[in-house]
Every structure is written in C-alpha cells, then in structure tokens.
Amino acid sequence: MSHPVFLNGCKQPAMPSGERNEWRAFWGDAGIELEANGGPPLLWWCIYGEADLKFASMIDDFDIDDPEGERAEFQADAENPAALYPYFVTGKKQALERLAQRKEKVMAALGEPYRAVYEAFEKLVATQFDGFVLLRTAGLPDIADGEQWMRTGAQSMDRLDNNHPPEAGDHFAGMAAEFLKWKNSGSAARMLGGSGPPGVWPDAALSAAFPETGRRKRTAPEDTDSGEPQAPPPNARSRSGRRKSSLLEEWLAPLFVGLVTAYAYISSHSIFLAVLAFAGATAVAVWLSMKWRNRGSDNDPT
C-alpha cells in the first residue's frame, strides 16, 4: 500500500496554500522532486530540525478555484477538513549546513562505504533544489496526529548538532540500525535518499556503485512495498500524496461488516451463515476501500 512523502525544492518557506490558489503554480514548477514511501528516509531527516516543523490545513491542499472540484469534494467527505497536519520546510542554506554538520556522526553510524551516497545527496541539494526544501507529508496515514513522532524525530537529529551521542533506541539510532539490517535488500541510494528523476537521483555513478540487489521482502526505510517504487518522469510533480478522507475505511466499512454479520446471525441463528456473511461483507468492504483509495490516483497526471 502506498503512503508517499515528497521532498521538493520550492520558492517560499511554507506549504503552498489552496486559500491563496498557490498549488497550480507549484504543480507547474519544473523543480526537482524526490519520493519515498511510508515516511522520510534517513538523509531527508538530516536536513531538518525541530524548528522546521510547520502545520498546514488539510483543506488547503486544494486550490479554491480548483477546476476539478477536489476541494469541494474533500470538504464534503472529510470529518474535519480544516484539521492541521505537520510537515517540514527549511531554507536551502540551513539544509546544507545541517548536512555538513551531521555528516561524520551519520557516517559513524552507517559506515564509511556510504559516504559516497551522503555526499552525492549533499551535492543534489546544493545544485538541484530551490531556495527552500519542503517535505510534503499529506500522503501519510493519520498524519493529522503525526506531530509527536515528527517532533521526536527532529529532536533526535538536533541532538547530533549539539555533539550529543545518539541515544539507544531514539529515532536516529533506530533508522540507522534499520538501514544496516536491510542494506542488502535494495539500492542504498534509494533506501537512504528516496527515488528521483532517472539519471538525477540516484545518478549513474551511484546506480553503478549501489545497484539494486533484489526485491525487498520486508519493510525498508524508503519503501514499504515489495517492488521498487517508480520514479516520476523529469519535471513532473506528483499529486498522489494529496490527502483523501479515510471516513469510509475507518467507520463505514467496519460498520457495514458488523451490521451484515449481526443481521445474518440474528435472522438465522446460525454461526456458519454468520461466518459466511462476515466473509462476504469483508470482501465487499475491501473492494470499496480500494476503489476509494484509487479514485484520486486515476486522475493524476502521467
């Protein structure tokens, strides 16, 4: 299941605002975009600190004059369309300073063989990103409740700047350990830095030095799916991370399954028939849930 996050170069120190009709210009921007699945990979965390944690309104993921009507659709479907969700944004200069400051501590945790990946990522940020570096998180599940884990993760990275050793079990130490555990199950460049435009990230040299070593069988830092994520074409920004309501999955589907199962048992007094009803209702609920998740992606630009 895809829960994408995106790292974008942008021209302002904030998430684009639908209230100010800023998304159209953002989607049309030819700036670079990296993508990862399930959460930010380790090198993205090296860019940010707690001071970079910001909040945006879910409804503002859509322009007011959106010609596709997504804003009105979301407002009608969502339980709390004005709910805030956390994201990160920082200046390019600050991002490069943090990458330089944290490099040796990250190398001590990962090992010298991965210095080339780290330094290539530094170069990518220096040469390919605009004035600000934005981490879009709207594609993550329950991101409205994500402030604590994002704040804790950023605090963990800030401790590296203060010459404090990583604490056992903290966010940074956990990500480093997870990468080392699964380092042979995919491309180290993608596991540490996400996927980008072909030939840009990872570039040809990194791809040759750190080739794909096989499909992942379990969760890796960059990717929770078993297959390799598909990089977007150059100069295209993905809308797949735009938030959709989870009301169907969280409430309506379980309620539907429960009511069907209860009705079958009450009307027949047969456990066997109730089990059959439960299985059938669950299959229908899963199908509807998949249709709900995919309805927005069917209209995404290719």
**Of the ranges 112-116, 210-214, 279-283, which one carries the lowest mean pLDDT score?**
279-283
pLDDT tens readout for residues 160-196:
998 777 776 789 999 999 999 999 999 999 999 999 9
Identify the CA nearest to 54 among candidates 90, 91, 26: 90
pLDDT for residue 299 is more than 90: no
Across the chain, mean pLDDT equals 83
Instruction: Work out the burial of residue 199: count CB atoms within 10 Å of its CB; fewer than 13 is exposed, 13-18 middle, 19 or more buried.
Output: exposed
CA distance 139 to 240: 7
Residue pair 133/97 in contact by the 8 Å Cβ criterion: no
pLDDT band at 6 (very low <50, low <70, confident <90, very high): very high
pLDDT tens readout for residues 60-104:
999 999 888 999 999 999 889 999 999 999 999 999 999 999 999
pLDDT for residue 270 is more than 90: no
Average pLDDT over residues 226-235: 42
How many other C-beta atoms are found inside a 10 Å radius of the C-beta of residue 96? 16
Give Cβ neighbours of residue 170 (< 8 Å, ≥ 6 apart).
156, 159
Residue pair 17/60 in contact by the 8 Å Cβ criterion: yes
pLDDT for residue 280 is more than 90: no
Ramachandran assignment for 199, one of left (phi > 0), alpha (psi -120 to 50 degrees), beta (any other): left
Residue pair 183/210 in contact by the 8 Å Cβ criterion: no
If you search the block for the tokens 């203060």, which residue do you land on? Answer: 162
pLDDT for residue 124 is more than 90: yes
* Percent helix, strand and coil across the chain, each to the nearest 5: 50, 10, 35
Phi, psi of 90 (to 5 degrees): -150, 165
**What's the start-to-end Cα distance of the chain, in Å?**
19
pLDDT tens readout for residues 236-267:
566 655 544 444 444 566 777 678 777 877 88
Q: Is the peptide bond before 202 cis (omega within 30 degrees of 0)?
A: yes
